Structure 1
């Protein structure tokens, strides 16, 4: 059991999966942010990216089922994909309990999340995305 894992490691793992997912979306659709394609009726809300990789759009976000994990993220200002909140990190950790055992507890994750925000290791997303954070440059 990895109780020494840091929340920064979990956030970096989450963002790595988001990057993997959006790379696959870009390969298929020509863009990492596929919301406009859905909004204009060019793609369906749910579909197959390739093989057993699927996507489902919702609100301002997307859930992509990769072969090893489901990653659910929101598109941020200017199409940014590096934002997260405590809930998304918890859901992601829940998908990978062997890799992220420490964060199977919402209470542990929420407490550390608040500490990371207070210490500046997670910083608010710019341009008014309330409740969403990104890794600080010092993390």
Structure 2
């Protein structure tokens, strides 16, 4: 049996986002799929079943893409070029919940959150500092050093320490 980690799930999520973007780029010959939607090249919602997209819905700065075996809901971040490989806890949790049979070890939201916080603390993922703010995380090795925002990592450590202290007091631990 293969031991699947949250990092493997993130990569699967990113692969799904890549697939959705490529479907639109190839079918409609566009570089920026959000611009294609805003320009009226295709509808906000629809189906591209022949391409493997059973339903899609553009929203704000993102896309929900329904494939036969998964649903990937992702947003774009602008570096200034659009990127779609970002993720956050909410998006990953929904991605996992839509594939409970594929990821049975991740049916516990607390486990997902704990592991997500661990990969932040370990410096594997980070939020970029961008002119147009984003709530998305990216693999740190895909970001240039000058745009890595270390604040969430530091804040996360502090809030976790406070939380542990609170629980210790509540339960009478020293």
Distance 1:64 1:83 in 2: 15
**Structure 1 runs of 4+ with >4 Å offset:** none
SS in 2 for 1:137: helix
CA contact (8 A) 1:22 1:32 kept: no
Q: TM-score, normalised by structure 2?
A: 0.70
Match of 1:95 among 95, 98, 101: 98
Aligned Cα RMSD in Å?
Answer: 2.1
| Alignment-derived partner of residue 133 in structure 1 | 137
| Alignment-derived partner of residue 66 in structure 1 | 67
Which protein has the larger Cα radius of gyration, Structure 1 or Structure 2? 2
Q: CA deviation at 1:32?
A: 5.5
Q: TM-score, normalised by structure 1?
A: 0.86
Distance 2:135 2:110 in 1: 17
| Alignment-derived partner of residue 82 in structure 1 | 85
CA contact (8 A) 1:46 1:56 kept: yes
Q: CA deviation at 1:86?
A: 0.6
| Alignment-derived partner of residue 47 in structure 2 | 48
Question: What is the aligned residue count?
Answer: 137
Q: CA deviation at 1:126?
A: 4.2
The structure richer in helix per residue is: 2
Q: For structure 2, which runs of at least 5 residues remain unmatched after alignment?
A: 143-174
* Higher RCO (CA-CA < 8 Å; seq separation 6+): 1
| Alignment-derived partner of residue 122 in structure 1 | 125
CA contact (8 A) 1:25 1:49 kept: no
